Amino acid sequence: MNNWRRRYLPVLCAAALCGFSFAQSTADEAIARGTRLQREGDLQGALAAFRDAVESAPQRIDAIMSLAVAYLHIGRPAEAIPGLRKARESVPRHQGVAYFLGLAYFQVHRYREAREELAWVVRRQPDNSQVRHLHGLCLLKLGELAEGIQALETVVGADPDNRQAVCTLGSAYIRAGLVDRAEALVSQRLRDDETPEASLIKGSLHLARKDYQSALADFERARIGNAALPTLHSQTGVALLYEGRRVRAAEEFRAELANNPSDFNANAFLGWLVQQNGESERALDLLQAAHSQNEFDTGVQYLLAQVHSSRGSWRESEALLEEVVTAQPGFIPAHVMLARAYAKLNRTERFRERRAIIDKLNAQQQERDLQGVDQLYDGSVLSMPKR
């Protein structure tokens, strides 16, 4: 809840300042009571008051909105959605309703619907950096990195001191493999910034550069300032994992999930780790959690397929791997696993075809390797498709 407040309260406040007008009615008293309780920090009391308001005036948009925002406020976004959708239909031009509906969708990981609502608001309020920021986040969640980066660049361009947006943009650059741009951004905006957020993004940069020791040092600095920063534990876990410190890595992933059960990387990497320990049931739960957050992430699809294969669920494995090889046709391990699935499912012709593809890809890879330099015995910890 604290996380939620820190992350979204400014957004909500900004939205409230957008000039939404709430009609007067017999529910006024309940709304006023709810607003006062909310200010006093009695969120449950406020929720009850707004519920009274909606019951007494079911058609009043301001009552519905207040109730929905109260749900969002206490971290129950799924319950906000029906009311907000109803309001959206009733007042389709109301930008505040669209924004809150987008926010609610975002919070329940319905990113496509969130993107639609937020894009609609952005078109009408192009200078609203809070909305644009959330829209950018949404695009990143959907894997639309270029569009997400563009949105965030606009936010940072308009407000270079918006540290939150700078950090999000830096993370997006790293995720997109634009490490040099991330480095430049951090250097320009966060060089002397010793806040936990800045340490986190600096650590992320080191992580992207595969400098795990430096990453761990930055993450430790961030931890001292704010151990509850989202993704801090999971990124620490990734650095530890690639350092070969699996037990500590697993502890970090678990710590992240304790704070943030939907953390994508913590679910994915812990899922992979427990699968390595033969705990396929637990692995399946974790990886499915990651998969539910981003069903298009080929890395998770690939890891999930491994779990299914190990459990003899070849059809499930086949379905996932076909998506992976479509999205990442050059990622040989997925082709190999798919060929195995075909073999197990007695799809002889498909197996032969896939084997021919593997042979061709291996030959191409060999040619590339011959041109490569500095190829050491690296014994990679984990092979993953590009994400």
Partner 1 sequence: MKSSAPVARSAICGAFFAMAGFPGLPVAAQIASGAGSAPIRFESILPAESGIRWEHVNGMSDERHLPETVGAGCAFLDFNNDGWMDVYFVNSGPSDFYRPIRPIANALYRNNRDGTFTDVTDAAGVRGGQFGMGAAAADYDADGDTDLFVTAYGRNLLFRNRGDGSFEEVAESAGLYSEGWFTDAVWFDYDNDSHLDLFVSGFVSYSLTESKYCGDNQAGRRHYCIPRSFRPTRCLLYRNNGDGTFRDESESSGISRVGSKAFGAVATDINRDGSLDLFVANDTIQNFLFVNQGDGTFFEQGLLLGVAYSDAGTARSGMGVDAADYDGDGWQDLFVANIDQEMFSLYKNLQGDDFVDASLEVRRETRLYSGWGLRFFDFDNDGDPDLVLANGHPDDMIGLFKPLVSYKQELLLFENTGSDFLNVSDSAGEVFNGEYASRGLAVGDYDNDGDGDVLVSNNGAAPLLLRNGTARGNNWIGLRLVATRSNPEAYGAVVSWSAGGTERSRFRTSGGSFLSSHDPREILGLGAASEAEWIEVRWPGGPVDRLEGVAAGDYLEIREGEGIAD
Asked if 270 and 286 touch (Cβ cutoff 8 Å), the reply is yes
Name, in order, each residue with C-beta under 8 angstroms of 57's C-beta and a sequence gap of 6 or more. Answer: 25, 26, 27, 63
Shortest CB 285 distance to partner 1, Å: 19
Tokens of 58: 């079911």
Paired tokens of 134: 């959330």
| CB 322, min distance to partner 1, A | 14
Cβ-based burial of 93 (10 A; exposed 0-12, middle 13-18, buried ≥19): exposed
Rounded to a whole number of angstroms, the minimum distance from the CB of residue 255 to partner 1 is 22
Nearest-approach distance from CB 55 to partner 1, in angstroms = 55
Best CA proximity match to 121, nearest among 197, 18, 32, 202: 18
Task: Write down the least CB distance from residue 280 to partner 1, Å.
Answer: 11
Q: Evaluate whether 49 touches 31 at the Cβ level (below 8 Å).
A: yes
Q: Interface with partner 1 by CB under 8 A: which residues?
A: 243-245, 276-278, 306, 309-310, 332-337, 339-340, 343-344, 351, 355, 358, 362, 366, 369-370, 372-381, 383
What minimum distance in Å lies between the beta carbon of 266 and partner 1? 20
127 versus 374: smaller Cβ distance to partner 1? 374
Shortest distance, CB of residue 363 to partner 1, whole angstroms? 8
Nearer to partner 1, 290 or 334 (CB): 334
- CB nearer partner 1, residue 258 or residue 382: 382
Q: How many CB atoms lie within 10 A of CB 349?
A: 8
Say how many CA atoms lie within 13 Å of 34 toward its Cβ: 26
In the complex, the smallest distance separating the C-beta of residue 176 from partner 1, rounded to whole angstroms, is 25
Closer to partner 1 by Cβ: residue 277 or 364: 277
What span, in angstroms and rounded, lies between the C-alpha atoms of 325 and 374? 28
Tokens of 103: 């926010």
Q: Which is nearer to partner 1, 58 or 278 (CB)?
A: 278
Q: How far is the CB of 296 from partner 1 (least distance, A)?
A: 20
CA distance 198 to 84: 35
Task: Provide, rounded to whole angstroms, the least separation between the CB of residue 382 and partner 1.
Answer: 8
CB closer to partner 1 out of 48 and 361 = 361
**Other C-beta atoms within 10 Å of 92: how many?**
10
**50 in Cβ contact with 70 (< 8 Å):** yes
- Token pair, residue 220, equals 């430790």
3-class SS at 17? Answer: coil
**SS3 call for 227:** coil
C-alpha dihedral, 117 to 121 to 123 to 127, nearest 10°: -140
**What's the rounded Cα separation, in Å, for the pair 163 and 167?**
6
The phi and psi torsions of 260 (rounded to 5 degrees) equal: -145, 80
Question: Which is nearer to partner 1, 99 or 351 (by Cβ)?
Answer: 351
